[in-house]
Amino acid sequence: SMYHALTNSVLCYLRAILTMEQPDMALAAELVSRALRVCQRSRRRRFAGLASLRPDSFSDEECHAELCYAELLLESAVLAFVQDETMVSFIRGGLRVRECHQLYRLCFRLLRKRAWSNARLRAQFESGARMGIGAFSLLVSMLPATVLRLLQFIGFSGDRQFGLEQLEAAAAVTDSLRAPLAQLLLASYYANQAQ
């Protein structure tokens, strides 16, 4: 399933990032690639036209596939930056980060506008969508002004207050897989601000 593939890749990704050893990096990249393929099978097909992007036209599985795909793209981008330091790898990673940001924006739109029939699935999705959009917004807002203007020009937005609100909302979702990660991001931010 998507979540099994995502969890497996996250664990290997964390090991690779912590050890920074090439065999761990290669295994993580392979597992992320496999998980992306698993998620791709459940994602909404984009060539169906604008009507296919209406929030209520997405099934629960398609919504979660978009969220998992966004998370995996971010892992893939970080691995690309760390594993290979060439300009091509840097550009490829940057494009993945941009696509990831666009997917998190789609997920946030789905969260706000879609009618959910299952409260538990909505809560899991809400935590992930809020964490993703909040983390991006917070991170971009912390960049220097010149970099921030450039990123805003290519479609990134950075509002620190909005980012913190979304991370706090994600952390408050009980029984969520992503709530502890949102709490960790908030703790990291506040610890950094205290210094």
Q: What is the pLDDT of residues 76-86, one digit of tens each?
A: 888 888 877 77
Task: Summarize the confidence of residues 26-51 as an average pLDDT.
Answer: 81
Mean pLDDT for the chain overall:
86
Task: Summarize the confidence of residues 41-57 as an average pLDDT.
Answer: 68
What pLDDT shows up at residue 194?
80
Quote the domain boundaries for residue 142. 116-194
Is there a single domain that holds both residue 127 and residue 168? yes
Is there a single domain that holds both residue 154 and residue 167? yes
What pLDDT shows up at residue 125?
93
**What is the pTM (predicted TM-score) of this model?**
0.85
What pLDDT shows up at residue 90?
76
Residue 151 clears pLDDT 90, i.e. is over it: no
Task: Summarize the confidence of residues 60-70 as an average pLDDT.
Answer: 91
CA distances to 11, 83, 86, 117 from 80, rounded to whole Å, are: 17, 5, 9, 38
CA separation for the pair 73, 67 (Å, rounded)? 10
Is there a single domain that holds both residue 129 and residue 100? no
Contact 107, 129 (CB under 8 A): yes
Is there a single domain that holds both residue 108 and residue 121? no
Tell me the pLDDT band of 50, cut-offs 50, 70 and 90: very low
- Classify residue 73: in a domain, yes or no: yes
Is there a single domain that holds both residue 5 and residue 28? yes
- Classify residue 51: in a domain, yes or no: no
Task: Summarize the confidence of residues 151-163 as an average pLDDT.
Answer: 79
Overall residue count recorded for the chain in this entry: 195
CA separation for the pair 98, 31 (Å, rounded)? 21
| Number of domains the chain is built from | 2
